[in-house]
Structures are given as C-alpha cells and as structure tokens.
Amino acid sequence: MIRFKLGEMIEKRQFAEGRRITINEIASATGLNRMTLSKILNQKGYGTGTETIDKLCAYFFCEVSDLMEYVQDVSNPVDSE
C-alpha cells in the first residue's frame, strides 16, 4: 500500500518557516480541493492522481519519495509465487 507522508511534510515546513500551515493554505496555494488533502492526510490507502502528487511536490519543493512510500500491507500480503 502507498502511504502518504503529507503530515510529516507539513510539520517540516512549519518548523522551517516557524509558523502554522493549514490545509486551507495548501489548498489555496496548490489549487487542490481541501477535501482531497484531508483524505490524503486521514484516509488509510487513499489513492490520488499524479497531478495531485505533482502539485504537492511543487508546493513542498520535494521529490515524490519525500511525499509517499510503499508499505507492505500485512493484512493482505502479495503472494510471492
């Protein structure tokens, strides 16, 4: 499963800028829907398109691997055969 690290990216930017960053601010800056950002933050296994990932990478000045990672789903392991 793909795990988004949006929460961690927000925390890093807040620390670097010394201020609170809201979902509304990110939505406004990226043109993304606030609900989409909320789902990425709170919904395990949420899927989104590459345009969304591209906009978030541009906002955070980061690589895709900084924003998301693959985590093996232990409840549904892939058959290795």
- How do residues 6-16 score in pLDDT, each as one tens digit? 999 999 999 99
Domain that holds residue 43: 2-66
Contact by Cβ (8 Å): 68, 2: yes
Structure confidence at residue 73 (pLDDT): 75
Distance in angstroms (rounded) separating the CA atoms of residues 76 and 64: 25
19/76: higher pLDDT: 19
User: Does residue 43 form part of some domain?
Assistant: yes
The CATH code of the domain that includes 36 is 1.10.260.40
User: Does residue 76 form part of some domain?
Assistant: no
Is the pLDDT score of 78 beyond 70? no
Percent of the chain with pLDDT over 90: 79
User: Does residue 55 form part of some domain?
Assistant: yes
Instruction: Provide the phi-psi class of 33: left if phi over 0, else alpha when psi is between -120 and 50, else beta.
Output: beta
Number of domains forming the structure of the chain: 1
